[in-house]
Structure 1
Amino acid sequence: MHSWGWRIPFLIGAGLSLTALYLRSHMAESVAYTKDKGRSVKKASGTLKQLFRYPKAVAMVVGLTLGGTIAFYTYSTYMQKFLVNTVHLTKSQSTLITFVSLLIYAALQPLFGLLSDRIGRKPLLIGFGVLGTLATVPLLTALSHTTSQWQAFAYIMLALVIVSGYTSINAVVKAELFPTEIRALGVGFPYSLTVAIFGGTAEYVALSFKNAGHEMYFYWYVTGCIFISLLVYLTMRDTKHTSLIDHS
């Protein structure tokens, strides 16, 4: 199993990618895209020059993403190392806890999305921002001192429920900020940059603080980033009511 088992996820991923390709090739395009594509007079679209016409929306994508991506990476990719290095669980225990918690977390996403369709995007984002700001330090501190696998699972699951207020709707919120002709670049460029700079480095920042003997500084770092995003959530309009999804 140790010599060939690592190939299994890649085989599953290959099969799922073919499924996604089939589904995508048979999906109907949105009405806005079809109208925009069928225009007799074509205008330049999807360029950086055009993107600069939406500086507020670009800044909002960065602000929306900052806290959410750090929280997500903390409780997903970094958590297994945290459970081993700080909580001192075995690798098999930490792997099982991470797998089960992320599996449940994935199942929660459509439920939070459904809730967002009923009450709007902004309440969920504010809920994540407030709870993330208040609970990150207590949760990670409690998790670092636990000796029970079940307690560790409960703390991580609680954190992931909070993060779901962001991850379940972050894609649609950002898409609703831009019209059709610039949406892919408008969302993709600032989002990818923010994830790479903050989400992608979260693990290294955490380990740097730990190696320096100040692991709790990372807890406050995550809290600070979520708080910055909370300020954006509080001042933004609810994109459910101002959506540009069908605007071409």
Structure 2
Amino acid sequence: MELLFVLVRRLAIFHFYICLNPRIFRPVDSFINPFALLTSISKRRLKAIFGGSVGNLVEWYDWYTYSAFALYFSSSFFPSDDPTAQLLNTAGIFAIGFLMRPIGGWLFGTLADRVGRKRSMTLSVLLMSLGSLLIAATPTYRQIGLLAPALLVLARLLQGLSVGGEYGVSATYLSEMATAQRRGFYSSFQYVTLIGGQLMALGIQLILQKLLLMEEQIHDWGWRIPFVIGALLSVIALYLRRHLDETRAFEEASPQRKKGSIGELLRHPKAVLTVVGLTLGGTLAFYTYTTYMQKFLVNTVHLSKGESTLISFLSLAIFALLQPLFGLLSDHIGRRPLLLGFGILGTLGTVPLLTALSHASGPWEAFVLLLIALVIVSGYTSINAVVKAELFPAEIRALGVGLPYALTVAIFGGTAEYIALLFKNLGHESYFYWYITGAVFTSLLVYVFMKDTKYTSKLNAETDG
């Protein structure tokens, strides 16, 4: 594992060296050098990327902390001698949080379209911090009985409401603040910070596992620490979002329209169905290879908790670095080729990859296979936010992006872990691999017939620069 860590560290150093050295790859600087590109962005837009993205990072850190530490706190809320049964209960509550996402997508999308993107994003961070504090402070099942899992459900409902609103509003905000030539690059930072939130959760888990606490201590009380950290980080995110600029697209949206209403949204049925179709396979694959993968590596590949955490952390770090590169690529060749690449490779490669991963002989092989899967998924994750934002006009954009996306994620992404564990419990784990394949193929059909939103974007007439 030490060799694995050293290799990833050297790859990261090489990546940053290339990006920061102006003498390298100058002919294709706008693609290969995203960090140099950042230095040429106006102060207003750089502030928008940083402020919107950091708040997004804190939101997703809080959300993923639940999944990252479920292996440790599941026994505190659900008494059982079967670890898989405990994880099923914990995963069920994780899925319950997803059920609130459509409500969050509707509520915060409506607010963003009516009163502004900035106010809506600030409120979503506040709700997330309340959910994290509640989890951190809830006593165990032994102390208060059934009230413990009930409070856990309440906390996840608050967090689900928050995250359900966060995606659509932050995707809208970053897309509207971008120039037309670099919209893919800007919006890719939504998934950089989304992945970054998970990296923070895994990083804190590694620190607790390797440096600070014994495993028994993490099981007993140490799992509460990351939830407290998340609540404290929310204070920073609140400050940053309060000082963001509002987007020009929102300020100039037609006041005669019924902003953020379901009736107005229904005037765009094709765009709504497109969001559902292009999200279906991508969200299922993403949640499989990120939130569920740590448990898969422990329960199926039979790696240790420490090994699974380190593999997830290192692979996700590379995954995050890929997002701006894929986003810039979409600014050059369009969004549709990347989506088609994900759809084709995901349809053909999911079953072979997961089958090989389930029989991996050690941590190194598991890492390589997981990284291949994440490279494929990057064709979706890096640009899905901007593609959705480009489908809708300003007066309905946040709701149009957020609500159909949240519904699809609740049905497919939110239940991925639960369905995977259920198939495993029934002795047919491979059925889940085919389930993912079918979902990705369905999305591929949408990618084949949809137009490339880079060239048909409703944002083109709204952004300056």
TM-score by shorter chain over 0.5: yes
C-alpha distance in structure 1 between counterparts of 2:434 and 2:273, whole Å: 23
- Tell me by how many angstroms 1:16 deviates: 4.5
Aligned to 1:42, the other structure's residue is in SS state coil
> What is the number of residues matched between the two proteins?
245
AA aligned opposite 2:363? Q
Equivalent residue, structure 1, for 2:332: 118
Amino acid paired to 1:25 = R
Give secondary structure in 2 for the equivalent of 1:57.
Answer: helix
Partner of 1:13: 230
Indicate which of 404, 415, 418 corresponds to 1:201.
415
Call closer, same or farther: CA 1:16–1:127 in 2, change over 3 Å. farther
Distance 1:15 1:125, change over 3 A: farther
Q: Provide structure 1 residue ranges, at least 5 long, that are not aligned to the other structure.
A: none
Q: Give CA-to-partner distance per residue, 1:44-78, whole Å, 9 cap, x none.
A: 11101111111110000000100000000100111
Note the 1:213-224 alignment, pairs <5 A.
213-224=427-438
Question: Could you tell me which of 132, 135, 153 is aligned with 2:367?
Answer: 153
Tell me if the contact between 1:62 and 1:190 (Cα under 8 Å) persists in the aligned partners. yes
What is the rounded CA distance, in whole Å, between the counterparts of 1:32 and 1:57 in structure 2?
A: 19
Aligned to 2:248: 31
Partner of residue 40, structure 2: none
- Residue matched to 1:108: 322
SS at match of 1:59: helix
Q: Once the 2 structures are TM-superposed, how far is the Cα of residue 14 of structure 1 from its aligned partner?
A: 4.2
What do the CA deviations read for 1:200-230 (whole angstroms, capped 9, x no partner)?
0011111121122211111111001000000
Task: Say whether residues 1:243 and 2:432 are aligned partners.
Answer: no
- One-letter code aligned to 1:197: I
Whether the 8 Å CA contact 1:87–1:146 is kept in 2: the answer is yes
Query: Does the 8 Å contact 1:179/1:247 carry over to 2?
Result: no
**Bigger CA drift: 87-96 or 222-231?**
87-96
Report what 1:43 is aligned to. 257
**Structure 1 stretches of at least 4 aligned residues deviating more than 6 Å after TM superposition:** none
Amino acid at match of 1:24: R
Which residue is 2:344 aligned to?
A: 130
CA–CA distance in structure 1, aligned partners of residues 454 and 240 of structure 2: 26
DSSP-derived class of the 1:45 partner? coil
Report the more deviating stretch, 161-170 or 13-22. Answer: 13-22
Distance 1:49 1:67 in 2: 28
Q: How does 1:154-233 map to 2 (within 5 A)?
A: 154-233=368-447
What's the offset of the Cα at 1:165? 0.7
Question: 1:26 and 1:148 mapped to 2: Cα distance?
Answer: 48
Counterpart among 56, 61, 85 of residue 275 in structure 2: 61
1:131 is displaced (CA, Å) by 0.6
CA distance in 1, matches of 2:327, 2:226: 27
Stretches of structure 2 that go unaligned for 5 or more consecutive residues are: 1-212
Which fold has the larger relative contact order, with Cα–Cα distance below 8 Å and residues 6 or more apart in sequence?
Answer: 1
Q: What displacement does 1:234 show?
A: 0.8
Distance 2:279 2:264 in 1: 22
Alignment counterpart, residue 89 of structure 1, candidates 298, 303, 309: 303
Report how far residue 148 of structure 1 moved: 1.3
Q: Which amino acid aligns with 1:177?
A: L
Deviates more, 1:127-136 or 1:204-213: 204-213
Q: Which moved more, 1:169-178 or 1:102-111?
A: 102-111
Counterpart CA distance in 2 for 1:212 and 1:112 is 38
Higher CA-based Rg: 2
Aligned partners of 1:31 and 1:246 also within 8 Å: no
Aligned match of 1:99: 313
Higher helix share: 2
Q: In the superposition, relative to structure 1, how do residues 24 and 206 fare at CA in structure 2: closer, same or farther (>3 Å)?
A: same
